[in-house]
Amino acid sequence: MFAMKLTLILLGALLYLVGTIGWFFWAGPDLLVTGTIEALLYAFAGTCAWLLITFGLAIHIIKTARPTAGSGSNP
C-alpha cells in the first residue's frame, strides 16, 4: 500500500512540475508575445488557474499533515 501511495504522490508532483514549467516557459510567454486582447485574457486566466491550483494543493498538503489544524475548536 505504501508503494502505491508513494507512486501517486511522485506522479502528482511530476505532473504539477511539468504543468508549471509548461505554463511559465512555453504557453504563458507565447500568449504574451502574441499581444492580442484575447491572448492576454487567456494568459491572465491561465495564471489565475495556476494560482488556484497551487493554493489548493498547499492547503491540501497542510490539512493532510495536520488534520486537526484549523478545525475551529480550542483544545
Q: Quick: pLDDT tens for 4-40.
A: 888 988 998 999 999 999 999 998 888 889 889 999 9
Please report, rounded to a whole number, the percentage of residues in the chain having pLDDT higher than 90. Answer: 49
User: Hey, what's the cell of 74?
Assistant: 480550542
Mean pLDDT of the chain: 86
Element (H, E) at 26: none
List the Cα angle 38/33/29 in 5-degree steps. 95
